[in-house]
Amino acid sequence: GIQVEQSPPDLILQEGANSTLRCNFSDSVNNLQWFHQNPWGQLINLFYIPSGTKQNGRLSATTVATERYSLLYISSSQTTDSGVYFCAVETPSDNNDMRFGAGTRLTVKP
């Protein structure tokens, strides 16, 4: 099946700093989503972004499908941004069932 690799695995930032999270995938995809898992375990959908660039407030994401990667940008980070960020992809080779990366654990310190 498809391999989804996220980097870095852990990231510690000071409040106000910017960061870039990366997701590499090993096969062509029909769908890519970024999720934030909050401290209560809920998966919050951030972006549905199989290709192109989207922005939502301080967050933006870019997927370059031909080069098989996606980036999540967090600007002016806040302590409430802490949590685990997951990239998940759907590919025809996996019957279009969504597969998750291992996540990036972000800690934003005040």
The phi and psi torsions of 22 (rounded to 5 degrees) equal -120, 145
Kindly tell me which of 22 and 99 has the beta carbon lying closer to other proteins.
99
Quote the CA–CA distance of 44 and 35 in Å, as a whole number: 5
What does DSSP say about strands 104-109 and 83-90: parallel, antiparallel, or unpaired? antiparallel
- Closest to other proteins by CB, 50 or 75: 50
Least distance to other proteins, CB of residue 16, Å: 28
Q: Smallest gap, in angstroms, from Cβ of residue 13 to other proteins?
A: 21
We find the least distance from the C-beta atom of residue 87 to other proteins, in angstroms, to be 10
Give 93's contacts (C-beta < 8 A, 6+ positions apart). 1, 2, 27
In contact, 11 and 19? CB cutoff 8 Å: yes
Residue 12 amino acid letter: I
Residue 49 or 74 with smaller CB distance to other proteins: 49
Least separation in angstroms between residue 86's CB and other proteins is 6
Residues of this chain that interact with other proteins (CB under 8 A) are 30-31, 33, 35, 40-43, 45, 48, 50, 86, 88, 90-92, 94-103
